[in-house]
Amino acid sequence: MKIYKVLPDLSRERHMKIWHKALRSQWSATDIKWDTPQRITNHRLKDQMGRILTPVLMGEQAALYSVSGLIPILGKLGEVESQFYLTTWAVDEARHTELFANFYGRLDREPMPIRRFPAGYLFQSQIVSDDPAEWLSGVLVSEVIAKKLMEEFRRLDLDPLLSDIAHGVLRDEARHLGFNHIYLEDRFCELHQNTEDQGRAYAEQLHARVDSVLGYLQPMLDALATELDEIGIDRIELFDKVGDEARQRLDRSIRAGHRLAEGKQEASPLAEAALIGA
Ligand SMILES: [Fe+2]
Ligand SMILES: [Fe+2]
């Protein structure tokens, strides 16, 4: 264990604000009315939903693993405000994991095992990294795909409970994306202040990482082509939109960091951080 200093530095204002916001926004799977009658009663649709929700449940569990893994790393780096925030992010992903695990019970189906869905497992395994900024750029792709799928579930309104879950998860995802922005903005501000070349090289590295993670997303969606088509989710459009939004969000965080370093712009207000790039 390494404690950077006994009295932690808690001066990053936006990090502290988002941490307090996350603390106040907690909710539980027990807040959901699980006895609401199930609208998905058709057997074929139940089977399809069992397969479609597999990458969702896999993603929530993978997020819980990777967020939890970054908590001690941020501590070692002395980034205590970010470490605080990530404890709530881990709680959020644990809650999402529980919600979708419970939803499988309601659906009376099981997710696909890894051997039948290797593309999903490969996609999730790309996101892991011990470098917080590199991890956040990979996570950007999985957070954006989670957000888009939740929006689709709300639009299709297949089951009232799934729509309620999607609504709650979307609120949490907005916070995760907000933190992603402020962390990367600050990181690129620091890098740019060191040397512009360093900032530029790192920006290229993170963009390459987003592209590489996106390369694993397409096979994952292709593996669910029939199911997505039949329930009415256009997977080509979904893939394009996720790619555009993830690249745009990363780009905006990098540019905001550079402008902040040059004194051309104030740090992005927290309320806007989650919306940036959307
Ligand atoms: Fe999640
Ligand atoms: Fe998330």
**Residue 241 C-alpha to ligand 2 middle, in angstroms?**
18
* Distance between CA atoms of residues 269 and 260, nearest Å: 12
Residue 219 is assigned to a structural domain of this protein? yes
Q: How many domains does the chain have?
A: 1
Residue 177 and residue 274 in contact, taking contact as beta carbons nearer than 8 Å: yes
**Residue 6 C-alpha to ligand 1 middle, in angstroms?**
32
* Distance between CA atoms of residues 109 and 60, nearest Å: 18
Name every residue whose Cβ is closer than 8 Å to that of residue 235 and which is 6 or more positions away in sequence: 221, 222, 224, 225, 228, 229
User: How high is the pLDDT of residue 277?
Assistant: 46
Q: Which ligand sits closest to the CA of 96?
A: 1
Residue 47 and residue 109 in contact, taking contact as beta carbons nearer than 8 Å: yes
Percentages of the chain per state (helix, strand, coil), in multiples of 5: 75, 0, 25
The encoded tokens of residue 65 equal: 């693993």
**Residue 146 C-alpha to ligand 1 middle, in angstroms?**
7
CA distances from 176 to 110, 141, 155, 228 (A): 28, 12, 22, 26
**Residue 194 C-alpha to ligand 2 middle, in angstroms?**
31
**Residue 86 C-alpha to ligand 1 middle, in angstroms?**
13
Q: Which ligand sits closest to the CA of 93?
A: 1
**Residue 143 C-alpha to ligand 2 middle, in angstroms?**
5
Q: Which ligand sits closest to the CA of 60?
A: 1
Residue 25 is assigned to a structural domain of this protein? no
**Residue 246 C-alpha to ligand 1 middle, in angstroms?**
16
Residue 227 is assigned to a structural domain of this protein? yes
Residue 12 is assigned to a structural domain of this protein? no
**Looking at 63-208, which runs of residues are DSSP E strands?**
none
User: How high is the pLDDT of residue 26?
Assistant: 97
**Residue 63 C-alpha to ligand 2 middle, in angstroms?**
7
User: How high is the pLDDT of residue 270?
Assistant: 76
**Residue 17 C-alpha to ligand 2 middle, in angstroms?**
18
* Distance between CA atoms of residues 31 and 29, nearest Å: 5
* Distance between CA atoms of residues 53 and 146, nearest Å: 11
CA distances from 227 to 19, 54, 95, 210 (A): 38, 12, 26, 26
**Residue 165 C-alpha to ligand 2 middle, in angstroms?**
13
Residue 278 is assigned to a structural domain of this protein? no
**Residue 267 C-alpha to ligand 1 middle, in angstroms?**
26
Residue 142 and residue 62 in contact, taking contact as beta carbons nearer than 8 Å: yes
**Residue 226 C-alpha to ligand 1 middle, in angstroms?**
25
**Residue 200 C-alpha to ligand 1 middle, in angstroms?**
31
How many residues does the structure list for the chain? 278
List the CATH number of the domain containing 147: 1.20.1260.10
Q: Which ligand sits closest to the CA of 176?
A: 2
Dihedral class, residue 78 (left if φ above 0, else alpha if ψ from -120 to 50, else beta):
left
Helix (H/G/I), strand (E/B), else coil: 118: helix
Name the pTM for this structure: 0.95
The tens-digit pLDDT sequence of the chain (278 residues) is 666 678 999 999 999 999 999 999 999 999 999 999 999 999 999 999 999 999 999 999 999 999 999 999 999 999 999 999 999 999 999 999 999 999 999 999 999 999 999 999 999 999 999 999 999 999 999 999 999 999 999 999 999 999 999 999 999 999 999 999 999 999 999 999 888 888 899 999 999 999 999 999 999 999 999 999 999 999 999 999 999 999 999 999 999 999 999 988 888 887 777 665 44
**Residue 274 C-alpha to ligand 2 middle, in angstroms?**
12
Closest CA to 264 of 192, 187, 173, 176: 192
Please give the residue range of the domain that contains residue 176. Answer: 40-273
CA distances from 69 to 51, 90, 131 (A): 28, 10, 11
User: How high is the pLDDT of residue 268?
Assistant: 82
CB neighbours of residue 116 within 10 Å: 11
Residue 32 is assigned to a structural domain of this protein? no
Residue 3 is assigned to a structural domain of this protein? no
**Residue 56 C-alpha to ligand 1 middle, in angstroms?**
8
Residue 254 is assigned to a structural domain of this protein? yes
Sign of CA dihedral 273, 274, 277, 278: negative
**Residue 276 C-alpha to ligand 1 middle, in angstroms?**
19
**Residues of 158-194 as b/e, b for ≥16 C-beta within 10 angstroms?**
bbebbbbbbebbeebbebbbbbbbbbbbbbbbebbee
User: How high is the pLDDT of residue 2?
Assistant: 66
User: How high is the pLDDT of residue 273?
Assistant: 73
